[in-house]
Structure 1
Amino acid sequence: MKVVKSLVAGIAMVLASSVCAQQYAGRTEVHPIQSMTLSTAQFLSGKTDGKPVTLAGELRLPVGKPGTKFPTLIAVHGSSGIGINIDRWAHELNSIGVAVFLLDSFSGRGITSTVADQGLLDHLAMLYDTYRALDLLATHPMVDPQRIGVLGFSKGGVASVYAAMDRFNEAYGSKKARFATYMAFYPPCYKYIDDEKVDAKPIRIFHGEADDYVPIAPCRDYVSRLQARGADVSIIGYADSYHGFDSQTLPPKVSLPQAQQAVKCRLEEGAGGSIMNMDTGKPFGRTDACTGVGATVGYNKDAHMKAIEDVKREVKAVFKIESK
């Protein structure tokens, strides 16, 4: 009799544990996204006649009680696609109760990388994708539509920084929600028409001081212009840090001889959706004298750990998450 009671009690504990796990375990979901591929000129001209495309994204929900609506960040990858650094960020953010949506702008378009040819996909097309991901998440039953932000990396950082522009929001933004924060790691910064008219929500940039692939200086200039207009914007530079300093599988310093870069170019939006080379006074082209190939990337553990602290602090503040 004692054996039977013990067995029954054991089964009850297992069942209770199973139910508890179902109630509190996080989950991963894969969602299709209907988007379109726009060129620079199409996007800047407000066109909506791009080529339709079906993309996908992976939503990683943290552990939480049934009925919880989670704050969420859309992670927008860079020129190499979704890398292990973004996977690490998803784990770090899940650990503080934030869901992460890993947006894949490449696979649905048959792209693996744009490192050697940035013309394969414009970064502004990835901004359009980001707005469509916001459409999706704003209606998800486990996402808080008032607490959705964007976190972009390199090429994807353009999407996260410039998603804050009023002009782009009016042309392409979601009708279901607005971003609660705009965060970017080592993004390229440009000068677009009306780029000083931005959302009142926080814009945060995290950059490497030693970045010779996408230098920090243009972003510092943009931040200064925005601050002069009263925007809630800041930039943190990490010492001795190259591009991709949060990618822990990289060695401390490695050369990418095939990487396209425009370090010496001064670029600004012109008429008709063109991007002008301010040194030549002509539309920018990938063969302009200011362009080149070759850049440095590398992991910096100290900077990475500091960046994790900085991002978590900012995310907790904007999403009003109490520290445990």
Structure 2
Amino acid sequence: MMRGVWWLLVTVLAWPNVDFVRSAAGEATTVPSNTLFTLADVGDPDDAPARNAMVTLFMSETASAGDPVPAVVFLHGASGVLSTRGPRYARQLSEMGAAGVVIGVFGACRDLGTGFVDRLLNVTEAAVLADAFAVLAWLDAMPEVDGERVILWGFSYGGMATLYAAQEQVAQTFLPDGSRFMAHIAYCAPCIARFEDTRATRAPVLAVSGDGDAIVDPERCAETDAALEAGGSEVTRISYTDAYQQWDGRFDGPRSIGRNLAPCDLVVEADGSVHDSNTGFPMTGPFMRKVILGLCTDSDGYLIGRDEAMRTRALEDVTRFLNGIFDVQ
């Protein structure tokens, strides 16, 4: 019964007004992690050197060892940490009696690239996953946090990593005998990768996106959902009419940016290596990643656009999803 109390309060009281929690300060800290290019690099000190993940923790004032709270870990998109996304939601969650953790993957990998393109070529989804699971283990060891109630929530690029984290192969790679995320929430995540190892962690998944978002292909995402469900994870997918990328971003729209990843088709092999299904090329490093992505993406880009009504609607669906996970009675 107690596991459902927190989310029940979310439904009744709604998410706190952002102006009310704007002053809530997070605690910047670091968590031991690794830099890697693919899952196959894990365990190799040369290919996966140690580094510290940069995180900001927003802890509920009510948290204690005697009354540990659930936590939500946020993974940013390709533009990096946006104050209107992870930090905002983490602050709100801390006011509602939970812990929110914002990971800044790019900030810890400045030696690999500071520009938009360089970061995406050198800081792969595997590096994002390394930080996510490092933070999961860190939270599991924290007395004030209930390690069995940690949720992963990612946006776009981080949303892709959030979906990958629901694969048992990924979880076992980073935490063979450790915790698993209790649930996964993916905002606007492209569906461009398939796993040879089809086992899922059995954690439920919520994936939401707009029908005006070109990088989220409905047919490809239906295949991703079917694979996760066949592997043991229930998937809830919601598409919003007339919505674009970054409805909770900083810019009004619609406006076109970037390149469209939707045509890409990557395969994660059983040993953790990656190849491109379209060409057969192995993704062995930044140069081959550049070649593969250069061939499979198009220059039409995709539309973004802030929409506060859509933000509210999506949060309602997130709350409904989480209430369904916990034993709310």
More strand per residue: 1
**Aligned twin of 2:29:** 31
How many equivalent residue pairs?
A: 292
**Alpha-carbon offset, residue 124 of structure 1:** 1.4
1:120-158 superposed Cα distances (whole Å, 9 cap, x missing partner):
200111101111001111111211111111111111112
The 2-side partners of 1:63 and 1:271 are apart by 43
User: What pairs with 1:1-324 in structure 2 (closer than 5 Å)?
Assistant: 28-40=26-38, 43-44=39-40, 46-49=42-45, 50-64=48-62, 67-84=66-83, 85-110=85-110, 111-112=113-114, 114=116, 117-173=119-175, 175-189=177-191, 190-194=193-197, 196-247=198-249, 249-256=250-257, 259-269=258-268, 273-283=272-282, 285-287=289-291, 288-293=294-299, 294-320=301-327
What is the identity, as a one-letter code, of the residue corresponding to 1:193? E
The 2-side partners of 1:109 and 1:98 are apart by 28
The 1-side partners of 2:272 and 2:131 are apart by 19
RMSD: 2.7
Q: TM-score, normalised by structure 2?
A: 0.79
Distance 1:119 1:61, change over 3 A: same
Distance 1:192 1:65, change over 3 A: closer
The 2-side partners of 1:63 and 1:273 are apart by 40
The 2-side partners of 1:152 and 1:138 are apart by 19
**Alpha-carbon offset, residue 318 of structure 1:** 2.5
**Alpha-carbon offset, residue 260 of structure 1:** 4.0
The 1-side partners of 2:176 and 2:273 are apart by 25
SS of the residue corresponding to residue 172 of structure 2 reads: helix
SS of the residue corresponding to residue 152 of structure 1 reads: strand
Q: TM-score, normalised by structure 1?
A: 0.80
The 1-side partners of 2:215 and 2:117 are apart by 11
Percent identity of the aligned residues?
26
Distance 1:223 1:274, change over 3 A: same
Distance 1:271 1:176, change over 3 A: closer
What is the identity, as a one-letter code, of the residue corresponding to 1:184? A
SS of the residue corresponding to residue 53 of structure 1 reads: strand
1:9-41 superposed Cα distances (whole Å, 9 cap, x missing partner):
xxxxxxxxxxxxxxxxx873332111111112x
What is the identity, as a one-letter code, of the residue corresponding to 1:73? V
**Alpha-carbon offset, residue 202 of structure 1:** 1.0
Give yes or no for contact 2:128–2:158 (8 Å, CA) kept in 1.
Answer: yes
What is the identity, as a one-letter code, of the residue corresponding to 2:281? K
The 1-side partners of 2:205 and 2:238 are apart by 11
Higher RCO (C-alpha 8 Å, min separation 6): 2
Give yes or no for contact 1:118–1:260 (8 Å, CA) kept in 2.
Answer: no
Distance 1:312 1:112, change over 3 A: farther
Give yes or no for contact 2:55–2:102 (8 Å, CA) kept in 1.
Answer: yes
The 1-side partners of 2:142 and 2:63 are apart by 16
Gaps of 5+ in 2: 1-23, 284-288
What is the identity, as a one-letter code, of the residue corresponding to 1:100? G
**Aligned twin of 1:22:** none
1:145-177 superposed Cα distances (whole Å, 9 cap, x missing partner):
111111111111122211121112222126442
**Alpha-carbon offset, residue 46 of structure 1:** 4.8
Give yes or no for contact 1:71–1:143 (8 Å, CA) kept in 2.
Answer: yes
1:236-262 superposed Cα distances (whole Å, 9 cap, x missing partner):
111111111222x21021222xx2443
**Alpha-carbon offset, residue 320 of structure 1:** 4.4
Distance 1:177 1:292, change over 3 A: same
